[in-house]
């Protein structure tokens, strides 16, 4: 199923064994990427996301570095929840491969679409307690990949964009309305007004009340 005979065996219970070093897997997929319309860096991130189920150290890794993981071995998946997660990520991987093969559109266009769609989602839902994971799930991509393409398009991560949008909107409401701080906090996605006030002060250097007073 994978371009490496020792990467593992899938069954109804998940990945039974993994014994192929990460370097072999990513190298094999970089080679395979040349024959499909999927960027090798995206393919690498998808594979690392899959392997992170067996090695938590890879959860925040978006690119394999040989000197950090020299010849590492990965481990069996035995817990039912992890088996399901492995199968889910594998299905997502195959889904992306199929989409890329079918679409044939340049990777730059796909990345731009992901970034624009994520920004539209944030613009529409910033008043709700959303997380970046929600945008990634909506687009069926890994959150690390979303952060990468979003920053490439807009110069900041989705989290930074969401924070700035909420703070600027809150600042406008503080100056143009007489709404209580707790009401304004709720209107920009914060259920806890104290958490909102702390973030606002860190962002502007003033508490919401002081910001309003200064005008």
8 Å CB contact between 20 and 7: yes
Q: What is the pLDDT of residue 45?
A: 78
Q: How far apart are CA 36 and CA 100, in angstroms?
A: 7
106-215 folds as: Arc Repressor Mutant, subunit A (1.10.10)
| Alpha helices (H) along the chain | 22-33, 40-51, 80-103, 107-125, 132-139, 143-154, 158-176, 181-187, 193-204, 208-214
Q: Where in the chain is the domain with CATH 1.10.10.60?
A: 106-215
Residue whose entry in the numeric block shows the structure tokens 């990468």 = 148
Cα–Cα distance, 143 to 4 (Å, whole number): 26
Q: Residue 13 has what pLDDT? A: 36
Which three-class secondary structure state does DSSP give residue 129? coil
Tell me what pLDDT residue 5 has: 33
Cα–Cα distance between 204 and 167 in angstroms, integer? 8
Dist. CA 45–CA 51, nearest whole Å: 10
pLDDT at 108: 63
**According to the model, what pLDDT value does residue 138 have?**
87
Is 116:150 a contact under the CB 8 Å cutoff?
no
Query: pLDDT tens per residue, the chain (215 residues)?
Result: 333 333 333 333 333 333 344 444 445 445 554 555 667 777 777 777 777 777 777 777 666 666 665 555 556 667 777 777 777 877 777 777 766 665 555 566 677 789 999 999 999 999 999 999 999 998 888 999 999 999 999 999 999 999 999 999 999 999 999 999 999 999 999 999 999 999 999 999 999 999 999 98
- Extract the tokens encoding 200: 């606002």
């Amino acid at each position: 199923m994978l371009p490496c005979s020792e990467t593992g065996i899938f069954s109804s219970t998940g990945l039974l064994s993994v014994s192929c070093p990460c370097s072999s897997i990513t190298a094999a997929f970089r080679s395979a990427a040349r024959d499909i319309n999927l960027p090798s860096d995206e393919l690498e991130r998808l594979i690392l996301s899959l392997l992170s189920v067996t090695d938590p150290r890879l959860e925040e890794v978006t690119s394999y570095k040989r000197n950090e993981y020299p010849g590492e071995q990965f481990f069996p998946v035995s817990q039912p929840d992890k088996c399901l997660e492995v199968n889910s990520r594998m299905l997502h991987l195959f889904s992306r491969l199929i989409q890329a093969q079918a679409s044939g559109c340049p990777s730059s266009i796909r990345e731009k679409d992901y970034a624009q769609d994520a920004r539209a989602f944030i613009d529409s839902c910033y008043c709700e307690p959303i997380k970046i994971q929600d945008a990634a799930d909506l687009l069926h991509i890994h959150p690390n990949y979303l952060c990468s393409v979003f920053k490439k398009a807009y110069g900041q991560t989705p989290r930074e964009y969401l924070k700035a949008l909420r703070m600027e909107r809150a600042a406008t409401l503080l100056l143009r309305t007489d709404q209580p701080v707790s009401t304004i906090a709720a209107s920009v996605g914060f259920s806890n007004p104290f958490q909102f006030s702390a973030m606002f002060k860190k962002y502007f250097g003033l508490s919401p009340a002081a910001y309003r007073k200064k005008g």
